[in-house]
Structure 1
Amino acid sequence: MLTPEDKAAIVAEYATSEGDTGSPEVQVALLTHRITYLTEHFKSHIHDNHSRTGLLRLVSRRRKLLDYLHKKNAQRYFDLIKKLGLRK
């Protein structure tokens, strides 16, 4: 689960400026952390279909944010996916 300390660390690492919590980089990083957590959760809770629906929503939201970032600033997009270790 995402603790406040973990969230603060992620925000500090991916923020584009001080106090930045809403940039696409920060949002994608937080979503990636939650997606990773849920993926591990499903390894032991195979039949948790309700949470699986939530996972699909998170993945979709992350994809939309990444598409937006790619459209607005391709270099920031490529830097982010490399830093997060995402495909593409």
Structure 2
Amino acid sequence: MSLTASEKQILISEYQVHETDTGSADLQVAILTKRITQLTDHLKQNPKDHASRRGLLKMIGRRRRLLAYINGKDSNRYQTLIKRLGIRR
């Protein structure tokens, strides 16, 4: 249910802002989006898993705050990021 190290490395290589980037806001949003999609699929199969549902809601809130931060800093970067991730907002 969680991201494997290889999946995370692939995301880092795709969304890093500079060569040594391992935790920028863009990268955090990409990792959270991947985890959210995995957890959404899990909850479709296990609708009574309320603990995981709470974790999903916390991740969605964290992603929303990070996206608001990116939008406040640079709206063009925000627009390109949500297009790349396929997030509708």
Identity among equivalent positions (%) equals 49
Structure-2-length-normalised TM-score: 0.96
Matching residue of 2:38: 37
Matching residue of 1:9: 10
Partner SS for 2:18: coil
- Structure 1 unaligned spans of 5+: none
Aligned length: 88
Shift of 1:71: 0.1
Distance 1:76 1:60 in 2: 20
Matching residue of 1:85: 86
Matching residue of 1:62: 63
Structure-1-length-normalised TM-score: 0.97
Distance 1:48 1:12 in 2: 33
Distance 1:70 1:5 in 2: 29
Shift of 1:6: 0.3
Deviates more, 1:13-22 or 1:57-66: 13-22
Distance 1:79 1:21 in 2: 19
- Structure 2 unaligned spans of 5+: none
What do you get for the CA RMSD once the two structures are aligned? Answer: 0.6
Partner AA of 1:13 in structure 2: E
Q: Where has structure 1 moved over 3 Å in runs of 4 or more?
A: none
